[in-house]
Amino acid sequence: MDTISWQDFMKVGLHFGTIVEAEVFAEARKPAYKLKIDFGPEIGLRKSSSQITARYTPEELIGRQVLCVVNFPPKQIGPLMSEVLTTGVDDAEGKTVLVFADGKVENGARLL
């Protein structure tokens, strides 16, 4: 594994936001949800596509705080312009487990 400097790590905009909308992304090639995530007044609302349908329903995602990379360039995914990368880790069955806040944090809070 390559090592990076602290300065390189700090370039990655890892921020928490609250999922305010989640719906099935019917046009996606692989099963996915369209998410709208609130990162507070400084960053605002951002959209994301996330392949997490095997583990979560849209209803249980609403109100959850997730960790996202907010400073990647936007990526066109079908008809959706994904503006953030929602982070997760695959479990033993290959299902993505989202990185959630363990307690309430301010929307837009940065991972340090």
- The CATH number covering residue 67 comes to 2.40.50.140
Domain count, the chain: 1
79, part of any domain? yes
111, part of any domain? no
103, part of any domain? no
80, part of any domain? yes
pLDDT at position 78 is 92
């994301």: which residue's tokens?
A: 48
106, part of any domain? no
Judging by DSSP bridges, how do beta strands 75-77 and 96-98 pair with one another? unpaired
- Residues 6 or more apart whose CB falls under 8 angstroms from that of 64 comprise 18, 19, 98, 100
- Along the 112 residues of the chain, how does pLDDT read in single tens digits? 899 999 999 999 999 999 999 999 999 999 999 999 999 999 999 999 999 999 999 999 999 999 999 999 999 999 999 999 999 999 999 999 999 999 999 999 999 8
Tell me the residue range of the domain where 40 lies: 12-98
pLDDT at position 82 is 97
92, part of any domain? yes
| 35 CB-contact burial (10 Å; exposed 0-12 / middle 13-18 / buried 19+) | buried
- Residues 6 or more apart whose CB falls under 8 angstroms from that of 62 comprise 19, 20, 21, 22
